[in-house]
Amino acid sequence: MRHRKNFNHLGRKANHRNAMLANMASSLILNKSITTTVAKAKALRMYVEPIITKSKKDTTHSRRVVFSYLQNKHSVSELFREVAVKVGERPGGYTRILKLGKRLGDNADMCIIELVDYNENMLEASKPKAKTTRRRRSKKASSSTAQTNVKATETKVEETATEVKAEDTKAETKVEEKKEEAKKEVKAEKKSEEPKAPAKKEEKNPEEEKKSE
């Protein structure tokens, strides 16, 4: 009969059920998430959450009580050192069940049970986003801003055009100077190549010759 049945026996005797839940609880504390059936996950949630609440007070008595349930010193030390510190501000609901679908073979409902504070992706998604305020601009303001933008672009275009013209003039003057220098060099070469005319002998008058004699 199922009179006054307050929990799922999971088809096991009490000793077998308690040992299974203790092993699952210790593996959940060490690995932060495990994959199991939905029925076992619900039973594990009822088993492990009071233990996590007990670990918030780090005393010798609470450590002994928790060890009586888990029977694993590594999981007890992990629970009191890391999990209890991270879960300290949470008033309850330390675990989350995520359903995966049916299992091949026996068609059992599968799920992932995990510690809420160790799933960083879901924690980031649950953070409240900063509100952004939108300000509507009037048509006049938008038109004035558009005009100022157009004027600014026009002035930039004019400045670039003047700079280009100045550069062109500089380039032209340089080209002309180079042409004049080349012409001067050519003239100098021509002058150097021309043959020099022989010097004319001075003709003496016969009368001067006679006087000299």
Q: Most distant CA pair in the chain: distance in Å?
A: 178
List of domains in the chain = 14-126 (3.90.1030.10)
Comparing 33-47, 152-166, 175-189, which segment has the lowest mean pLDDT? 175-189
* CA–CA dist 161, 171 (Å, integer): 15
Residue 96 pairs with which residues in a beta bridge?
114
Q: Are 57 and 79 in contact (CB under 8 A)?
A: no
pLDDT, tens digit (0-9, with 9 covering 90-100), for 15-72: 999 999 999 999 999 999 999 999 999 999 999 999 999 999 999 999 999 999 999 9
Across 201-209, average pLDDT: 58
pTM of the model: 0.57
Across 177-192, average pLDDT: 76
Sheet holding 33-37, edge to edge: 33-37, 109-115, 95-102
Determine the residue type at 210: K
Residue 117: closest CA among 96, 142, 145, 143: 96
Across 172-180, average pLDDT: 77
* CA–CA dist 184, 194 (Å, integer): 16
Q: Ramachandran region of residue 191, left (φ > 0), alpha (ψ -120 to 50) or beta?
A: alpha
Residue 36 pairs with which residues in a beta bridge?
111
